[in-house]
Chains A and B, each alone.
Chain A
Amino acid sequence: MGEIIEINGPIVTVQLPAVRNGEQVRIGAIGLLGEVIGLDGERAVVQVYESTESVKPGETAEALGHPLSVELGPGLLGQIFDGVQRPLPVIMEQSGDHIARGLAVPALDRARSWPFEPRGDLSAGDAISGGAVLGEVQETATIRQRILVPPGIKGELVEHAPAGEYTVDQVIARVRDTQGHIHKLRLYHRWPVRRARPYRARVHAADSLLTGQRILDTFFPLLKGGKAAVPGPFGAGKTVVQQQIARWSNADIVLYVGCGERGNELVDILETFPQLTDPYTGRSLMERTLLVANTSNMPVVAREASIYVGVTMAEYFRDQGYDVVMVADSTSRWAEALREVAGRLGQMPVEEGYPAYLASRLAAFYERAGRVETLAGEQGSVTLIGAVSPPGGDFSEPVTSHTKEIVRTFWALSKELADARHYPAVGWDESFSGYVDIAARWWAEQIDPSWAERRTQALNLLAHADELGRIVNLVGPEALSQEQRWVLEGAALVKEGVLQQSALDPVDSYCSPEKQFALLDLVLKVYEQGRELLRLGVPVEQISRLPVMGSVRRAKSAYPSDRVDELKAVDREVREAFDPIRMEYSAAEEKTA
């Protein structure tokens, strides 16, 4: 037992001999949970995950003997946890609408039992080691959890439970290690969140992570196992992008970490996901989703922990051979939590109050993304997607600029686009993806060989139009040739017909890769055919006034992903509208000739 010396917001100094750095500590009469982050002789500095209001110097402090760790086993899916993995619905049962302090609630339900099916090819006497699969539990209709030997354990399987119903606490296997020590294995195990879970090897990421969002998949693609960031000023659409990914991406498991953001955004997910169906499995989306919530009004220190709690659970599913996506909204709030603690510890700030280790912490976090060969020899991946909330929308600030160095896909949201209600407001000039070449292989094989070319044509058209736009602003549109005006029209078509995609439009919220390409191809064909008309002397205004241009712009909402064939027919409509004009003008040309 130790004693509290000083309380400075979430930072508490305790007299607690022999405690270790990183160890969990219970603080004060109400038993707040905290973590040692510094030692000075017999004194330890503890960051506390809950509000320290009403705590007094002189109260007790107790070391718990283990670092912050999470429970990994059946019962995680569909749950919503707080930043230190306490299930919020259970907290609600115990303390009502508001979160009480000092509650000790286990992450996994101890009373619930699960149907365990042991692996058939395993029997007593077999050599076994960490990461091996002991058996499976059908947790939700779509997800089977593989029960793993915790990493680090190695030895001889001396007992393997038969099929049956087990609670997470019940022993389902015993392993004798080389020292003769017997390890009891249960349906769950614990893992310290600040330590990446081990795997056999890293594997190159090769598969596209499809999100159903055109500007992401077609223009700035991401791979399963990749790392991406979504920076943008407030209201630009970071959360919507992440929620769309959580909804529509072709991942097996989605982890949504609400880190210092709004309570209502989590409620939105909790209320809508159970009703939504996964386009790949046809089942309720909630069956593959789990949430970690430290909302902006919840204690700051747990915010710092929440990111690690999330990524550790993500790695656990990866180790079962799944493709996992974790979205973190927002990594800036996590960085601010770091800054707050650093400030209270009197550490030297380097930029905008952030400590010098900000960049390395960020890099270490994103390093936990990747595609791996698991200890059991399967392949699994963790894709990390972090929102970044730069103060004043200024991308040169520390969190954004460091993140930009680390990630390979960067979806830069623009205030101008958001103000014009051009959603998703992903700017094509500042965004980038380092995965285009690998993604191109997938698109060429699965969708269309000309994907890469079409993509480049569209981006060039947009860039060209931006340049012309600047000229127009200087000297007016009169300075532009008909060709150049058509470039502006073409770019506008790309924006409205392809890039803009409303998350709220039931038809267009999700867009299959086939439809993505069909729309892109349609719009570019209109542009190309229009250019031909221009050569015959047709004025731009005459083309852009055609009603069919409205149909092209609205095609995305008119044809859902399962009616791409009809969408392809719009092309014919366009030709039918263009043909009479072409004939008229070519006849005129012949006459003059």
Chain B
Amino acid sequence: MKEKEYRMASAARGALLFMRGVPNVALGDRVVVRDHQGRKRNGQVIRTSQDVVLVQVFEGTDDLDLQRTWVRFLEQPFELPLSPDILGRIFNGVGEARDDRPPIVSRLTRNVNGSAVNPASRSYPREFIQTGISTIDGLNSLVRGQKLPIFSGSGLPHNRLAAQIVRQAKLPGEEADFAIVFAAMGVSYADARFFEEEFESSGVLSNVVMFVNLADDPPMERLILPRTALTAAEYLAFDLDRHVLVVITDMTHYAEALREVATAKGDVPARKGYPGYLYSDLAEIYERAGRIHDRHGSITMMPVLSMPSDDITHPIPDLTGYITEGQIVLGRDLHNQGVYPPVHVPPSLSRLMKDGVGKDYTREDHPRVASQLYAGYTRALEARNLASIIGAEELSERDRRYLSFADAFEKRFVGQGEDEDRSIIETLDNAWDLLSILPPEALSRVTEADLAKYHKWETGSPD
């Protein structure tokens, strides 16, 4: 059947092609569709029976003349050829070269869907990665093997932040040795170019594999692109023992493509038109991050997504947050005040921080300092809120101290230069400078010993 082409497309709707009378077609198989001009499109079987086979066409079915459309079933799933030569290359969503260089030839190919890692063979991620960014390292630390997304919004500097992390990420005391898998979906040419230049200028290009689908490329290809990219990442991590940092941007475009196909298929929507299986579908992607017993490599994932209307309860950030191990949330207010990186601290979280910081990895006081900064900043935001109602002059002395703490925290801790690579010790010392604005009896999250060692309390007016 491999050589056989069928011309039995009975209907086309959106990205879906319905085939009649093709027997024994396996679910998930790869399909090549040839249109009347001989142009090829890639497809995949997403539903199959003896009567009807449903094919999802990544390039869409626009302009297909069903009478003159030929479909070939390849009798194999989508696979990606893998070799060390993928480093330094640029591919599209289905793994075809888009850098005018020859295709990867290799006997090793893998199904891009992967298969679930056995929870019993995972090992718990706990090695602290220093990104040089205080709000991440100090408050929401990233560890090797973690999936930590950036929740952003249109116009916010998530790309610059992601690029800075890629530039600076290292284990303290070790040379940067990350291989980078960069997956771009529906991004503008300018954004893709920005990353390419970033990689080039920081000299890591030969350690990067890029999978790119631009804003004007076929949207359905975004459904397979992250899977292809992660197949490459798994190969680098678990076959070649590399520590891999995967940056995926923008997951919102992925989810929108999924919704489009789901609607065309008539799937029952759950929220905002997104299908009920969006959670499981996203999990298949995000859960490919991690560490595995007895393997040297690891996959650390940093997906970027823009929250539609800055709404964190929108299904895309919401379901992502339910799957990933925390999130770094960017805030528009801070951005408008010129703070870079505008990390909105209260909703940001790293769930794997607990085992990756402290005495063995960073510094003994780290977990308590982080908790205290959170508590202090929350209280400070309340004071600021109050000041906006009654005026700062009316605040108690304690509240005025909190007010100056909030300002200093945003300027000196959250804010930092795009080229500023702070060590974790600098970050923590900086934190204690700020906590010293507050009186010791207000600091219940740190110990007496911490206070004695690090707190530089001077009574007197806050300003």
Contact = CB atoms under 8 A, between A and B. Distances in A.
A456 B269 CA distance: 45
Interface string A273-308: 000000000000000000001011111100000000
A297 B77 contact: no
Label chain B's interface by main secondary structure. Answer: mixed
Interface in A225-260: 233-235, 258, 260
A407 B371 CA distance: 33
Contacts of B49: 5-7, 13, 57
A293 B445 CA distance: 35
Contacts of B395: 477
B441 A92 contact: no
A177 to B, nearest CB: 41
B371 A421 contact: yes
B50 A296 contact: no
Interface stretch (A48-56, A120-128, A366-374): A48-56
How many A residues touch the partner, as a band?
A: 35 or more
Nearest to B51: A6
Interface in B260-298: 267-271, 276-277, 279-280, 283-284, 287-288, 290, 292-293, 295
Contacts, number: 232
B88 interface: no
Nearest to B373: A421
18 contacts: A51-B115, A53-B28, A56-B26, A91-B118, A235-B327, A264-B122, A270-B120, A296-B323, A297-B283, A297-B287, A342-B268, A343-B267, A353-B270, A391-B319, A419-B347, A419-B378, A472-B386, A477-B396
Interface string B97-126: 000000000000000011111111111110
Contact of B117 (A263, A422, A550, A553): A263
B444 A333 contact: no
A141 interface: no
A266 interface: yes
Interface string B387-399: 0011000111110
A5 B116 contact: no
A53 B279 contact: no
Given A271-B124, A296-B279, A300-B277, A339 B118 contact: no
A57 B48 CA distance: 7
B25 A57 contact: yes
A376 interface: no
B238 interface: yes
> Which of A9, A98, A352 has the most chain B CB atoms inside 10 A of its CB?
A98
Nearest to B294: A97
A82 B288 CA distance: 18
Contacts of A5: 49-50
Given A13-B49, A98-B114, A262-B323, 11 more contacts: A6-B49, A9-B47, A88-B119, A234-B322, A263-B122, A267-B119, A297-B283, A392-B313, A419-B378, A476-B386, A547-B441
Contacts of B371: 421, 502
Contact of B28 (A54, A98, A296, A544): A54
B118 A296 contact: no
Given A6-B49, A7-B47, A554-B448, A478 B279 contact: no
A262 B287 contact: yes
B367 to A, nearest CB: 6
Contacts of B271: 352, 391-392
Nearest to A295: B119
Contacts of B117: 97-99, 263, 297
Interface stretch (B33-41, B194-202, B349-357, B417-425): B349-357
B26 A295 contact: no
Contacts of A444: none
Contact of B116 (A92, A99, A415, A476): A99
Interface in A74-131: 80, 88-89, 91-92, 95-101
Interface in B429-453: 439-445, 447-448
A176 B187 CA distance: 73
Sort A-B residue pairs by CB-CB distance and give the 3 closest, nearest first. A392-B313, A296-B283, A6-B49
A17 interface: no
B41 to A, nearest CB: 21
A95 to B, nearest CB: 8
Contacts of B214: none
B14 interface: no
> Which of A52, A235, A299, A545 has the most chain B CB atoms inside 10 A of its CB?
A235
B408 interface: no
Contact of B444 (A95, A546, A553): A553
Interface string A48-77: 000111111110000000000000000000
A219 B315 CA distance: 33
A220 B131 CA distance: 41
A203 to B, nearest CB: 36
Contact of A339 (B115, B270, B394, B439): B270
A393 B347 CA distance: 13
B84 interface: no
> Which of B48, B116, B117, B290 has the most chain A CB atoms inside 10 A of its CB?
B116
B278 to A, nearest CB: 10
Contact of B321 (A99, A234, A549): A234
A263 to B, nearest CB: 4
Nearest to A8: B47
A37 B318 CA distance: 31
Contacts of A541: 396-398
B440 A550 contact: yes
A56 B378 contact: no
A55 B46 CA distance: 11
A517 to B, nearest CB: 20
Interface string B298-331: 0000000000000001110011011101110000
B27 A52 contact: yes
A263 B24 contact: no
> Which of A92, A297, A300 has the most chain B CB atoms inside 10 A of its CB?
A297
B439 A545 contact: yes
Contacts of A54: 26-29, 77
A264 B24 contact: no
A101 B352 CA distance: 30
A593 interface: no
A266 B119 CA distance: 7
Given A57-B23, A92-B118, A473-B385, A333 B279 contact: yes
B375 interface: yes
A55 B26 CA distance: 5
B287 A295 contact: yes
B18 interface: no
Contacts of A483: none
A554 B444 CA distance: 6
A162 interface: no
Given A266-B119, A295-B119, A297-B117, A420 B378 contact: yes
A343 B24 contact: no
A537 interface: no
A393 B319 CA distance: 11
A80 B119 contact: yes
B346 interface: yes
Nearest to B28: A53
Interface string A506-541: 000000000000000000000000000000000001
A391 B122 contact: no
Nearest to B312: A392
B318 A391 contact: yes
Contacts of A475: 389-390
Nearest to A478: B394
A53 B277 contact: no
Contacts of A297: 116-117, 280, 283-284, 287-288
A88 B120 contact: yes
Contacts of A476: 386, 389-390, 394
A474 B385 CA distance: 11
A97 B115 CA distance: 10
A471 B398 CA distance: 19
A268 interface: yes
A478 B279 CA distance: 48
Contact of A235 (B121, B124, B321): B321
